[in-house]
Each structure stands twice: as structure tokens, then as C-alpha cells.
Amino acid sequence: MTEDIINRAALTGIDQTLFFRVVESTNTGIVITDNSLPDNPIIYCNPAFEQMSGYKRIDIIGHNCRFLQGKDRKQAARGIVHEAISNGRSCVVEIRNYTKEGKLFWNELYISPVTNDEGVVTHFIGIQNDVSSRKKSQLELERVQIETEKLVIERTKMYQESQDFMTSIVETLRESLLVIDHDFTILSANAHFLNTFKVSINETKGRLLYDLGNGQWNIPELKRMMEDILPTNNPVLDYEVEHEFPHIGKKLMLLNAHRVELEGQYKNWILLAIEDITERRAVQQRKDDFLSIASHELKTPLTTVVGYLQLMKRLMPAEASEKFRSIADKTERYVHRLNHLLSDLLDVSRIQTGNIEIHKEPFDFDKMLIETIEGIRAATPQREILLKGSVECQCNADESHIIQVVSNLLGNAIKYSPDNTPVTVQVTKISDVIKFSVTDKGIGITEADYAKIFDRFYRVAEVQRHYSGMGIGLYICQQIILNHGGTIWVESKRNVGSTFNFTIPIQG
């Protein structure tokens, strides 16, 4: 064997020194260990290896190669290396090694046994390449792959969860929901729909909306609106339907339908929400009835009280004390207030039941205004009420209702502003409408309250603290003006004052 090698070497005509120079010059790390010595120590390393590992030759000669793994002992590659060396075989591994400074580098290690003439493994040669950058990209790729897989799993789970979430919302809603295809077949119906209309999913899914049940949804007006949704994207909003159902009786329903939009994309589906408002409407009706009966019943004893009080004053003996007279006056004032509150309640209950009756007849607006203001002046002689402008025309409206509005607005202006400030009434004829405005120098109203003050039973918190009342006067005014086809609004500045305005058409 040795001879063979020498012969081969001789054949090449290259001397051994050149071989040594080659090993020393290559930029691949080379380590030779002596397998015949205990623990297979390093006997040689070339400069490329010194460069790669940061160790000097002198540092490592005599050491087993394992120090290169530092404390990173649990590497599968180590097992492979160990097995190859034990069995005198070659192997290729990628192993994590550490430089003298402790910096990790990935070492692509080729280990080959070197045998003597008897075939005994005397040495091992380790060819080493730093593949850290390649390994890094490879690891990065693997990491990305794992991450991507994780993400896909997560997304799928999230999608499943959001799907479950949506389904549970849809199923929990106390509102009936139908998803309808572009040709008006039912794609799905939630539990509330099935329960409310006492139908099974088989009787619903896949059927035409207009064929459901006994054709109860086949309402021409609804059909027209539904058919308009997809071409125009116009929703159906709060459309009331009353229908007699065979198993569940008469139902009043509020329908809302929208084109389904998913992630910003319009689908050719319609979501139809059906709200059963039968009970709510009935409660409203009962409340209105109660309000109406209660106020009417209260009026009768009140009439008696007012009458007896007045009679008492008429029959009061001349010698009655001042104190007694004052008590009688006060009682009368409070009874009058009670009467006004009751009238307001009656008005509200009438408005609620749609019974506000407007009887339009031409009247002299200026004359009505002057008389109404006179009446208020008589009641509050200390207050200055200025009247500006005139309309000089007959107005076709319900005079008693307009008087009610004027008195209410003027009354508020006086009530909610300091006693020493004037209240100004301005009337103007603009085109074919009359505009009425009353301005006070009171505390004013914040913009947030502009619309709310016309709500039923709404009272501005600050006002509530200082003045009694139920907050229905402005609501009644608004209803009266709206019923006349007019508008009512407020303009105000905090601590400067408020102007309440209304317009009504002259011709009615």
C-alpha cells in the first residue's frame, strides 16, 4: 500500500513538499487527527482552519475536535461523527461549531479515514467549510416555511372562529334574518325566523321569498322595493307590514333589507331583517289609551275644584283677611297650573294616537298676535314684550293651535330669562310663509340640545334644576307646526339668549 502510494507519487513527478504546500495554501480548513493515539487528538490543522476557527495551531494540537462544539453538545451531527469515527468510515455533516471568541459558525464537515498498509485506520482527515451564511438562509427559509404553515393554520382557525362567531350572533339575535339570493330564493334563515313563523328550515331554504308560507311576503310594494335593492343598492328601511299568519295570528312587522357587502364587495345577496313589533305597538297603544283616559278623568274633578275656588272668592265676605285672600289666590294659581299640565298631557296623548285635529280657517295673524301678547302682558305686567313687524294678511291655519304655539314659545321666553330683560317678538311675511320669532336674553341652549328640546319629555338638565315642568310644551308646538306643513327651530348662544322660530304657509 505504502509502496503503491509512493509509486503513484513518483508517477506524478511531484515531490512531497508540494503536497504540504497545497494543504497549507488551500482556503478549505483541514484537520488531521491521529486515531492511534488515545482520544483521537488533532495533530495538524492548516492556516485556513486557523482563520475559520480563530484558534492557533498551538492551541489545539493534542485536543480532540469536540471542543469546537463548545457547550453545544446535543447535536445530532455529533452522533454521526462519533459513529463514523468508531467504525472507521467517512461521513458528511453540518455541525455547529464555535470560534475561539465563542461565535457560532456552521461547519460543513467531511470526515474521511486514512488507513495504513494493513487497512487499519490510523488517521482521520477533516475537511471543513464555513457554511454559516448558506445555513442561515436555509434556516431562515425553514423558519419562514414553519411560520407560514403556522399562519395558515391560525388563519383557518380564525376564519372558522369568526364564522362560528357570526353564526352564533345571527342565531342569538332576537330578530328574524333571511339571506336571499339575487333570484329571491332563500339561502339561509336563522333560528329566530323559524321559531317566530313556526316553520322548518326545509320549508324555507331554497324556496322563493314570495312563495313562503301562504305567500304572505308577496306584497307588491315590498316586492318593488326588494327588486330595487340589487340594481340600485338602495336599502329597504323600516317598512311596516301587517299580516295575518295562519298559526301565529296577526303580526306587525318592521322590515329592513340591505344588499350584502363582504370585505367592501357587494354580493348579489340581500339580507332581510324582520322585527316583530306587534307587542311593542300594543304597549304603545295601551300607554296612549291610559294617558288619554287618565287625563280626561282628572279633568272632571279639576273642573269642580276650579269652580268652587272661584265661587269661594266671589262669595268671600268683605271682612276676610288679606292672608285668607292671598291663600285663595295662590290655590287658584296652582290649580290653573295643574290644569295646563293636564291639557298638555291630553294634547300629547292625542298627538300620539294621531288624533291631533287641525281645523284651518283664515284669520288675521297680526290681530291674533296682538291679542295673544296682550293676554300674556296681563299675566306678567312686569315684563317688557316688544312686537316688531307685521304680516298684514289672512292666514289659513288653525287659529287656536297657533295661539297655543305662540303662547308656549312666548311663555318659555319669559320663564327662562331674567325678569329685567325684554322679550322680542318678530313677525315677517316671506314669500308665501309667515315667519314668527321670539328672542330672549336667557341662559341659552347648547347646540347639542337644539334638536332634543323638541323631543317629548326632554328637559335640558340645567333647566330641570331651576324650573318645574314636564318638557312637553315644545313637543306639542313642533307637532302643531309640522301638522301645518311648517318648520320650527331654535338658534341660541350660551349666556346670550335664544331665538325660537317657526314658519307656516299662509295659504295653509
Partner 1 sequence: MAKRILIIEDDPGILELLELIFESDGYIVDSSLTGKSVNEIMKLNPDLLVMDVRIEGYKLTGDEICAELKAFIPPNGIPVMLLSAERNLPEIALACNSNSYMRKPFDINDLLETVGKFWK
C-beta of 133 vs 310, nearer to partner 1: 310
Residue (of 467, 462, 342, 395) closest to 406 by Cα position: 395
Q: How far is the CB of 301 from partner 1 (least distance, A)?
A: 7
471 phi, psi to nearest 5 deg: 70, 40
Q: How far is the CB of 355 from partner 1 (least distance, A)?
A: 9
Q: How far is the CB of 333 from partner 1 (least distance, A)?
A: 14
Q: How far is the CB of 353 from partner 1 (least distance, A)?
A: 12
The answer to whether the Cα torsion of 362, 379, 334, 481 is positive or negative is positive
Q: How far is the CB of 475 from partner 1 (least distance, A)?
A: 17
Beta bridge partners, 176, equal 274
C-beta of 173 vs 306, nearer to partner 1: 306
Amino acid sitting at position 413:
A
Beta-carbon count within 10 A of 90 CB = 13
Beta-carbon count within 10 A of 269 CB = 18
Please, are residues 407 and 376 in contact by the beta-carbon 8 Å criterion?
A: yes
Residue 214 to residues 247, 252, 310, 334: CA-CA distances in angstroms? 11, 17, 66, 60
Q: How far is the CB of 501 from partner 1 (least distance, A)?
A: 27
Task: Using only the alpha carbons of the chain, give its radius of gyration.
Answer: 49
C-beta of 1 vs 312, nearer to partner 1: 312
C-beta of 251 vs 350, nearer to partner 1: 350
C-beta of 341 vs 385, nearer to partner 1: 341
Residue 208, classified by CB atoms within 10 Å of its CB into exposed (0-12), middle (13-18) or buried (19+), is: middle
Beta-carbon count within 10 A of 506 CB = 19
Q: 454 in helix, strand or coil?
A: helix
C-beta of 50 vs 399, nearer to partner 1: 399
**Binding interface with partner 1 (CB under 8 A):** 296, 299-304, 306-308, 310-311, 314-315, 339, 346, 350, 357, 359
C-beta of 218 vs 339, nearer to partner 1: 339
396: Cβ contacts below 8 Å, ≥ 6 apart: 360, 361, 362, 505, 506, 507, 508
255 phi, psi to nearest 5 deg: -105, 140
The answer to whether the Cα torsion of 306, 310, 315, 320 is positive or negative is positive
Residue (of 170, 167, 175, 178) closest to 207 by Cα position: 178
Estimate the crossing angle of helix 399-415 against helix 365-379, to 10 degrees.
Answer: 40
C-beta of 219 vs 338, nearer to partner 1: 338
Q: Which residue has the cell 311648517?
A: 486
Q: How far is the CB of 473 from partner 1 (least distance, A)?
A: 17
C-beta of 316 vs 327, nearer to partner 1: 316
Residue (of 197, 212, 194) closest to 249 by Cα position: 197
The C-alpha cell of 3 is what? 509502496
C-beta of 281 vs 299, nearer to partner 1: 299
318 phi, psi to nearest 5 deg: -60, -30
Q: How far is the CB of 307 from partner 1 (least distance, A)?
A: 4
C-beta of 59 vs 399, nearer to partner 1: 399
Q: How far is the CB of 358 from partner 1 (least distance, A)?
A: 11
Q: How far is the CB of 339 from partner 1 (least distance, A)?
A: 6
Q: How far is the CB of 254 from partner 1 (least distance, A)?
A: 31
Amino acid sitting at position 34:
D
